[in-house]
Amino acid sequence: MASNTKRSNVLPGFGLTLGFTLAYLGIVVLIPISTIFFKTFTLTWPQFWAAVASPRTIAAYRLSFSASIAGALVNSVFGFIVAWSLVRYEFPGKSLIDVMVDLPFALPTSVAGITLTAIYASNGWIGRYLAPLGIKVAYTPLGVAVALTFVGLPFVVRTIQPVLEDLDQEYEEAAATLGASRLQTFVLVIAPALIPALLTGFALAFARALGEYGSVVFISGNMPMHTEVVPLLIMSKLEQFDYAGATAIAVVMLTVSFLILLGVNVLQRWSSRRLTA
């Protein structure tokens, strides 16, 4: 038989769908993002450096990334537990809780911000009990992390849930018949199967937190050098008509986020490859 150089596929339309994908991504993602780079290129190197390496900008980067990572980590742990109880147990009000998980998606983030500020302020419902312990949430970096945790929760729950549902009970039963304790079963059998999904959930929650603006504005207090996140700094640059400065900060943010997400993606792919090879 003659060698078939053109690989044929059962489903036609590869060219069409790929073309559409590229055009769509171009219009929706690449072109808007490229303008950020073009605008930044109007700066000279010293100007660029001054914009992105000023102490105020560095502080904002540090807060944005650390609070986003903290929020995503907290969500990875507690989102996992939420997903676990939703999948594994039957209890009254289960579907209600299931719906509640999605609320952070639907709620306007500014509403979330105001609500969180109200209850975590030192005279708020929760804040008043934390204040005597010396824990201040509203108007501190901790408050920023709380807001970012709030907006990221659904991502972790919703990525783990279907995978956990697909995880057959047989694996746990097999581990038990082989003499494994509950803890050993969890650590050696269940957790490894969920790691790819957990990484995806983490990456999504992290990315969402990085870009979050609405809720943080209210709870952080926006003190430069202290509780100012990068999206906010960009906003204030824009208000001062420093468009190039704003895009310069955005370019750095974008590049670092891209690298982090790429890293998580590679990790995720590596960990899931063995499951599906």
Partner 1 sequence: MSIELRNIAKKFGDFVAVDNLNLHIETGELVALLGLSGSGKTTLLRIIAGLETPDTGEVLFHGEDASDVSVRERKVGFVFQHYALFRHMTVFENVAFGLRVIPRRARPAEAAIARRVHELLKLVQLDFLADRYPSQLSGGQRQRVALARTLAVEPKVLLLDEPFGALDAKVRQELRRWLRRLHDEIKITSVFVTHDQEEALELANRIVVMNQGRIEQIGSAEEVYHHPANAFVYNFLGNVNLFHGRIENGRVFLGDTAVELENTHAHAHPETGKAVLYVRPHLLEIVMKPNGKQTFPATVKSINPAGPQVKIELVAEWGDMVQVEIDHERYQALHLEPGANVFLRPKEQKLFVYSI
Decide whether 80 or 139 has the Cβ nearer to partner 1. 80
Dihedral, 115, 83, 140, 254 alpha carbons, nearest 10: -110
Residue 153 and residue 148: Cα distance in Å, rounded? 9
Decide whether 170 or 239 has the Cβ nearer to partner 1. 170
- Nearest one of 232, 240, 236 to 211, comparing CA atoms: 232
> Is residue 181 involved in binding partner 1 (CB under 8 A)?
yes
Among 171, 243, 258, 270, binds partner 1 (CB under 8 A): 171
> Is residue 100 involved in binding partner 1 (CB under 8 A)?
no
- Range in contact with partner 1 (rule: CB under 8 A) among 92-100, 144-152, 170-178, 244-252: 170-178
In the window 258-277, what residues touch partner 1 (CB under 8 A)?
274-277
Residue 13 and residue 4: Cα distance in Å, rounded? 19
Among 114, 118, 176, 256, binds partner 1 (CB under 8 A): 176
> Is residue 98 involved in binding partner 1 (CB under 8 A)?
no
**Total number of residues that touch partner 1 (CB under 8 A):** 21
User: What DSSP string runs through 28-58?
Assistant: IIIHHHHHHHHHHTTS-HHHHHHHHSSHHHH
Among 3, 179, 239, 240, binds partner 1 (CB under 8 A): 179
- H-type alpha helices, the chain: 14-25, 31-40, 45-52, 55-88, 94-100, 103-106, 109-120, 127-130, 141-166, 169-177, 182-185, 191-211, 214-220, 230-239, 243-276
Decide whether 100 or 174 has the Cβ nearer to partner 1. 174
Contact by Cβ (8 Å): 141, 71: no
CB of 166 to partner 1, least distance (A): 12
In the window 192-211, what residues touch partner 1 (CB under 8 A)?
192-193
Element at 277 (helix H, strand E) = none
> Is residue 189 involved in binding partner 1 (CB under 8 A)?
yes
CB of 172 to partner 1, least distance (A): 9
Among 63, 163, 175, 233, binds partner 1 (CB under 8 A): 175
236's tokens: 């204030």
Decide whether 102 or 168 has the Cβ nearer to partner 1. 168
Interface residues toward partner 1, by CB under 8 A: 168, 170-171, 173-181, 184, 188-189, 192-193, 274-277
